[in-house]
Every structure is written in C-alpha cells, then in structure tokens.
A and B are shown apart, each in its own frame.
Chain A
Amino acid sequence: MKTLSAEHLLGIKYLTKEDISIIFKTTDNFKKIINQPIKKVPSLRDITVANLFFENSTRTKLSFELAEKRLSADVINFSAAASSVKKGETLIDTVNNILAMKVDMVVIRHPNPGASIFLSRNIDAKIINAGDGTHEHPTQALLDAYSIRERYGEVKGKKIVIIGDILHSRVALSNIYCLQKLGAYVRVCGPSTLIPRFINKLGVKHISNLKEALNWCDIANVLRIQLERQDVKYLPSLREYAMVFGINKELLMNLDKEITIMHPGPINRGVELTSDVADSGQSIILDQVENGVAIRMAILYLLAGKVKKNGK
C-alpha cells in the first residue's frame, strides 16, 4: 500500500486526492473494527500521543481519545484551562516540555490559525491539527466527506451547500478543500456579513436565499453561529438569523427532493436547525460522530507508520 504523501495532518490543503482515498480505505477497515465485540487493536502499543487542547472541545477531544485508546496508544491529555499556559508559558515551551517526556504524536487544537503548522516546523513529532482558530479542521472535513461517501456511494458530482457562519468556520474551509478535491460542487449560504469576501477565489458561489440553496443541493452541511469568535455584531439577533436561515421541517417538506442534513456539532437547536429536523431520518449527524472515531483511527494509524522506531 502507498503511504500518505504528508508527514503531518495540518490541513486538507496539504493532502492529495490519493491521500484522501488511502485514508478512506483505511477508515473502512476501522469502521468494521469499532463494530466488533472487542473494539481494540494493538497496532499503536509503542506510541505515545499527547492531546493538547488550548480551546474547549467535547466531541473532537473524546473522539481522538477514543481512537487513540482503541489503537492501544498511550495517551496524555492537556487542557489549557488547567495548565501553566495561564502562568505565561509559550506554546513551544509547553510542547517541548511535553515532548521531553517522549511523546511521538501530538494532537493539537489552538485558537490561533497556523498553530499546528508552527509546531510542525519546530518540533520532532507527528502533528495532527484538531482545529486551529478559523483556519482548518481537517479531521472534521474528512469525516464529513466520508459520511457523504457512505450515504451516496461517492462524493464526486454531489452538490453540497454549507450554511451559516462561513467567516469564522474552520469546518467550512476544510470542507470546501476536501469536497472540491473529491470532485463535488460546493456553494455557501448565509448572511453576507458572515461570508468571507474572497470566497469566489475558491470557486465557491454564495447563495443568499436559503430556499434557493436547499433547492440546489443534495446535501446541506449546517454550521453553528460562532458567537465566541465574533468581536463585533455581525447579525441583529439570533432570533432573526433563525427566521431567515434556520432550517425547519416545513422548509424540507416543500422541496421536491429529499436532501441530507449534516452538522458538525454542537447544535444550537432552534437556531440553525429545529429539533424535528436534527432528529429526523434525513439527518446523519450521529453517523458523522461514529465515523469520526474511525477516521481518526485511520489518520493516527497512517501517521504512526511514519514515526521512527527507537534506535533506527
């Protein structure tokens, strides 16, 4: 089998189409493994992984930790809230201290875009980007594309609209790169204030009307409004956003086809999605979470294969 062309997973931008297909193929195998009675394999038993979360996370952190444990890796966890970062330690000092404890791989989430790229240049360990600010969130994009492939057989030729806060979303950027590399058509929908100015440069069109967007697409990937990243007001109120861009059952019933609803979580019920949509058969939100563990196992496994063996 061919190996990944990349040494780290810093973003979808740095992966080739071939890399993505290797990751998907390996994920197929891990998906079978996590549905076995005993879900653990011994592949990474001589690998130590550090999960460095400088920003809050539930799903991604649990998913990575579970993936590491299912591969039998040793895991250490770190969250910025309860650490010396608060005492003024720099990122590189923090990570070097952790690496001195002989860590082979680092999973990092950081509020600053490019944090994982900075680490990969300065540190001798395999880096996996678990979200860096508003830049990229590659594992989320891979699991989204994998879930589409699982539902439709292939990603090529599918029409996907990403709805919501595109400006502050790392999920949106990674999804655009990933889906386009796999041959899908991507458009975005949301209030003009939350659409990046140069989105056209990525070959992505902006649709400002939600109904028009839903009519065009096969799959709607719905994002959360990231109030924590908004330092100025981009919208009058969440209530108004929900009225104009919120997806409800009635809207979906009036379409002449059945589209698939995706959401990377966490959902703000009643804002971007109503509960009856989020919990309907059209939604594959929980499949996305299940696939997340398998995708992360595949990435950890493939990158661990590149970790040098001691003494060689």
Chain B
Amino acid sequence: MGLFLILYLPTQMKHKKIIINKSKFNIIVERLSHQLIENHGDFMQTVLIGIQPRGTHLCNRIHQKLSSLLSNKNIKVGNLDITFYRDDFRRRKDPIEPQAMDIDFSIEGKHVILIDDVLYTGRSVRAAMDALMAFGRPKSVELTVFIDRRFSRHLPIQPNYVGQKVDSIASEKVIVEWEEIRGKDQVILLNSEK
C-alpha cells in the first residue's frame, strides 16, 4: 500500500510552491508605490489603469497605498477590459467573458500607468495598449507588473516597474492570489507537469 502511494501520488499531484508570502507581498506593493512616486510625484498628471480581470487588484492596492502616502486624494484610477482587442478571438475553445470597462475620464495628454498581475507573453499588454488608445492620446504609457515571467515573451514588451522576476517554464503557472478573492495574499508557482 505504501509503495503504491509513493508511486501513485507524484504522478497525480500538482507541485505547488509558494514563492512570495504575505509579508513579502506587502513589501513589494509598498516598494512599487514608492517607485511610482519617485517618477510621478503628486500624480496630478498621472492615471492608474488596471487591466481586467486580475490587474485591477494590484491597481486598487497601489491606489490605496498612494492615497495614504500623498496629499492628492483624487488620484484617477480606471479598469480596462481588453476582451474585444485580443488577438486570439476565434482561436480559443471557449470565448472569454468580457469584464467591466470603467474609465470615466479622458487620458489625453496624461501619463498612464498600466497595471497587471503577471507579465508572460506580452500579448495582453499589446491588446491593452490598443484598447487604451480609444480613450485619447496619452503623453506616455508605462507598465507595472507584480510578476515578470522572464524569457517567455512573444512580443517586444518590457515592464517599467517589476514586483518580482520569476524564471519559469511553459508547463508552469504563476498565480497571484489576493486576500479579497482567495483569502490570502501570496504568489504560488504551480507545476502541472506529470
């Protein structure tokens, strides 16, 4: 029986490894916020845009942090849905469910900080830049990501602010879990290879 379990389990179980725990998680959000302040000052000319669905959590955290650090309490923040701008429409088995687009201001002439949780192939960010242009011509666009999966880009896209760089292979998944969704702030590396 014991031998059976030893042989059986590793082939069925997914390897799950916590790569960022709660305390490190908060330090990273704090650091990203300070880096943004270093370059954007009081955020009068800068707006935060979270990419739906998962970039919005990081966007909200950074927004909270910035609001507590700065005297400007009206930092503009929006959510960008990229479903209709993606390059894999009709190429997936199931369609992607569109999420809310909440940008009730013009980004004309503003510095835009695009925010997402994981940067992998770069295709979402490409779609996001396309979607963003529908709201005006920004002065500049920068990219903030919590996790940068290096060496896996399909497009020439690099982030300006990175929470943590991760080296991973295609069969692995990096999942950022948020307290408001999963009850815990952490990042896990999932290996689904048998």
Does the CB pair A309–B91 fall under 8 Å? yes
Given A29-B84, A42-B84; 16 other pairs, CB 8 A cutoff: A1-B94, A1-B95, A1-B97, A3-B95, A25-B97, A29-B81, A33-B84, A33-B101, A36-B134, A37-B134, A38-B133, A38-B134, A41-B131, A42-B130, A43-B84, A43-B89
> Is B136 interfacial (CB-CB < 8 Å)?
yes
6 nearest A-B pairs in the assembled complex, by CB-CB distance: A1-B97, A41-B84, A38-B134, A29-B98, A43-B84, A32-B101
Chain A residues near B89: list those with CB within 8 A.
Answer: 43, 304-305
- B79-116 vs A, Cβ < 8 Å mask (1 yes, 0 no): 00101110001110011111111000010000000000
A-B contact count (CB 8 A): 56
The listed residue (B84, B99, B106) touching A301 by CB distance below 8 A is B84
Chain A residues near B97: list those with CB within 8 A.
Answer: 1, 25
> Is A26 interfacial (CB-CB < 8 Å)?
yes
CA distance A188 to B89 in the complex (A): 42
Chain A: minimal CB distance from B153 (Å):
21
Kindly report which residue of chain B lies nearest to residue A309, judged by CB atoms.
B90
Q: Could you tell me which B residues sit within 8 Å of A by CB distance?
A: 81, 83-85, 89-91, 94-101, 106, 130-131, 133-136
Q: Could you tell me which A residues sit within 8 Å of B by CB distance?
A: 1-3, 25-26, 29, 32-33, 36-43, 46, 71, 301-302, 304-305, 307, 309
CA distance A37 to B100 in the complex (A): 17
Chain B residues near A37: list those with CB within 8 A.
Answer: 106, 134-136
The listed residue (A2, A25, A32, A42) touching B85 by CB distance below 8 A is A42
Chain A: minimal CB distance from B93 (Å):
10
Chain B residues near A29: list those with CB within 8 A.
Answer: 81, 83-84, 98-101
Chain B: minimal CB distance from A298 (Å):
10
A33-B84, A301-B84 as given contacts; A1 in contact with B134, CB under 8 Å:
no
CA distance A312 to B100 in the complex (A): 32
Chain B: minimal CB distance from A71 (Å):
8
Chain A: minimal CB distance from B87 (Å):
9
Chain B residues near A41: list those with CB within 8 A.
Answer: 84-85, 131, 134
CA distance A41 to B133 in the complex (A): 11
Chain A residues near B83: list those with CB within 8 A.
Answer: 29
CA distance A40 to B101 in the complex (A): 14
CA distance A40 to B84 in the complex (A): 10
Kindly report which residue of chain B lies nearest to residue A297, judged by CB atoms.
B84
CA distance A108 to B96 in the complex (A): 28
Kindly report which residue of chain A lies nearest to residue B86, judged by CB atoms.
A43
Kindly report which residue of chain A lies nearest to residue B106, judged by CB atoms.
A37
CA distance A130 to B99 in the complex (A): 28
A-B CB contact pairs (8 Å), 21 listed:
A29-B81, A29-B83, A29-B84, A29-B98, A29-B99, A32-B100, A33-B84, A36-B101, A36-B134, A38-B134, A41-B85, A41-B131, A41-B134, A42-B84, A42-B85, A43-B85, A43-B89, A304-B89, A304-B90, A307-B90, A309-B90
Kindly report which residue of chain B lies nearest to residue A70, judged by CB atoms.
B84
Kindly report which residue of chain B lies nearest to residue A301, judged by CB atoms.
B84
CA distance A82 to B101 in the complex (A): 42
Chain A: minimal CB distance from B127 (Å):
9
CA distance A232 to B136 in the complex (A): 57
Chain B: minimal CB distance from A70 (Å):
10
Chain A residues near B133: list those with CB within 8 A.
Answer: 38
Chain B residues near A307: list those with CB within 8 A.
Answer: 90
Chain A residues near B81: list those with CB within 8 A.
Answer: 29
The listed residue (B95, B100, B130, B135) touching A36 by CB distance below 8 A is B135
